[in-house]
Chains A and B, each alone.
Chain A
Amino acid sequence: MMEQLLSLIRNIDTSAEVVADAAPFTVSIAPKSLASVAGALHADPAAYFDQLTCVTGVDNGPEANTMEVIYHLYSIPFNASLALKVILNRENPEVESLCSVWKSANWLERETFDMLGIRFLNHPDLRRILRPADWEGFPLRKDYKEMDTYREVKVKY
């Protein structure tokens, strides 16, 4: 099953690579091909990934200077899990939104945007979700410094 999926992904993105030491099976792909790979995985009857369960953003810190977004997909009929990983530039983290494929991407991507400042292009409603709209900075970045005060209330406890 996993070889089939890998060849399916490699048909679209030749640079796709299997990530070592990751469970479930994780494939690292180029950010520009994410939308087409996701669309194919959703639509292909041999893959049929009908659920997007989790979207995780990871900041690798200023030294590595990269960010990652990891999408956990699950196929109910095949009982198969797959994770897609894209590595983004930390200065300008942008990736295509998957809202048109899976509706669950909407809030999950909003949360990733809120926490890490990764922008999802063509997202229908990219606003902060857990933080107040006027909060400064993205808390899960490794170099995040909280504000001294938020509306004149001390932030640091």
Chain B
Amino acid sequence: MALHSTVTQGKIQYRFREDNLALSEPNKFKAGDLRLEEMIINLGPQHPSTHGVLRLEVISDGEVIRQVVPHIGYLHRCFEKHAENLPYNQIIPFVDRMDYVASMNSEHAFAMGVERMMGISGSLPKRVEFVRVLVAELNRISSHLIAIGTYGLDIGAFTPMFWIMRDREHILRMLEWASGARLLYNYIWVGGLFYDLPVGFEEKCREFISYFEPHVRELEQLLIGNKIFIDRTANVGVLPLDLAINCGASGPMLRGSGLRFDLRKVDAYSVYPELDFEVPIGEGKMGTTGDCWDRTWVRICEIRESMKIVGQCVEKLLGEHKRTREFDPQAAVPKKIRPKAQDFYVRAENPKGELGFFFRSDGKSDIPFRCKVRSCCFVNLSILEELSKGVLIADLVAILGSIDIVLGEVDR
């Protein structure tokens, strides 16, 4: 026993026990539950194709999957408990760390929710709103790039990963220029912004768009239009629309199944009603509507739409709402964030789906009584069980990749 114990300064920090292996994350199925020829395979939690720390308990008969049981929680960082002990403005850095590849979008949703509770959402300067949408859409592009690139990697296409990393770095550097951080920005504040955009940011955005436009086409030709990619993804993991709605799917997952539903249009929050963009949906071009290829294709189209939005925001920020010496992005930031007692649910369109925050404030303190996150990846991942009955193990990886999860947001 002593062999397996870690002893530091005479204190035992960890002692190995036989049942440690089985107690904490036991499989749902036991050997006795299986039928003849069936076996349990553990995929993850350190498998590269699980996009982080996700463990899949796979019951398979040869190569055919009977059932998949996802085990999550390896990256649980107690966001909701932390949020119950922090003032609203100090929760924003924690919100960043949920979906760490699309932090701006999460911040935007959170700040918007608190502003609506305070009743100040209408009084923000337009420039603030356009800057928010600009950085959020830039972040949406980078998030979709990660989704597409890592998906290619999952099913054997190596080059697109390097290409998207190259292009994504431009976005990250621009956001770093604006906020000072590469991934976790804390840039959008309740009632305003950390700083105004740096001088020359708008021109750099234009430069980036003209640079990036041909690269999207290249990426599309290299990956999405590739024969091998189509063979691996078309008609695989078909999610029918009724099932998608009943399972609570949102984002590209729902649009891939053929429903034109985007909260930026439906709720028309922030300045999105003033911007012109389309909502792409899956049409089953390569197979059945709602297959893995459709979901990826929707993401590619959304990158294009986001670029359109970025272009329009830049026009507005250079024209109608241009930078002035008097402009103070923190002018509307409330000194004390204390919303009146209420229950409030806010939702916004994140790259991965509908991100929702439920707040309960008691009206007496600066900290929320309860702050619940409706995580889009969490709900989308729960569909995996439905999607992967009777598929091959190689297709399981293709289906999982097409859901586009970030474990930071699944586990929070």
Contacts and interface: CB of A to CB of B under 8 A. Distances in A.
Contact of A130 (B24, B76, B266, B369): B76
Contacts, number: 115
B26 A70 contact: no
A56 B358 contact: yes
A24 B343 CA distance: 8
Interface string A118-130: 0000000101111
B78 interface: yes
B285 interface: no
B357 to A, nearest CB: 9
A106 B347 CA distance: 21
Interface stretch (A2-10, A15-23, A30-38, A86-94): A15-23
Interface in B36-91: 72-73, 76, 78, 80-81, 84
A29 interface: no
Given A21-B343, A79-B266, A130 B73 contact: yes
Nearest to B76: A130
Contacts of B341: 21
Contacts of B80: 115, 140
Contacts of B358: 54, 56, 70, 72
B344 A76 contact: no
A132 B24 contact: yes
Given A127-B28, A152-B12, A102 B248 contact: yes
Contact of A152 (B14, B116, B246): B14
A76 B259 contact: yes
B374 A54 contact: yes
Interface stretch (B221-229, B314-322, B378-386): B378-386
Interface string B89-117: 00000000000000000000000000010
Contact of A26 (B15, B245, B343): B343
Contacts of B81: 139-140
A134 interface: yes
Nearest to A130: B73
B370 interface: yes
Contact of A54 (B15, B26, B72, B356): B356
Given A102-B246, A102-B248, A58 B370 contact: yes
Contacts of A51: 245-246, 248
A11 interface: no
B26 A107 contact: no
A153 B8 CA distance: 12
Contacts of A54: 345, 356, 358, 372, 374
Interface string B9-46: 00011110100100111101000000000000000000
A66 interface: no
A15 B103 CA distance: 43
A84 to B, nearest CB: 12
B354 A53 contact: yes
Interface residues of A, number: 42
Contact of B23 (A50, A81, A133): A133
A76 B261 contact: yes
Interface string A68-110: 0010100010010101000000000000000000111011100
A53 B374 contact: yes
A122 to B, nearest CB: 18
A53 B73 contact: no
A108 B78 CA distance: 16
Contact of B246 (A23, A79, A104, A140): A104
A72 B243 CA distance: 18
A47 interface: no
Given A23-B344, A102-B248, A129-B73, A139 B78 contact: yes
Nearest to A139: B81
Contacts of B266: 79
A152 B345 contact: no
A50 B73 CA distance: 28
B188 to A, nearest CB: 21
Given A104-B382, A153-B14, 20 more contacts: A21-B341, A23-B116, A23-B342, A23-B343, A23-B345, A51-B248, A56-B358, A79-B266, A102-B246, A104-B247, A107-B382, A108-B248, A115-B80, A130-B72, A131-B73, A131-B76, A133-B23, A134-B23, A140-B84, A140-B370
8 contacts: A22-B344, A58-B369, A102-B248, A129-B73, A131-B76, A133-B23, A133-B24, A154-B13
In order of increasing CB-CB distance, the 4 nearest A-B pairs are A104-B248, A130-B73, A22-B343, A54-B374
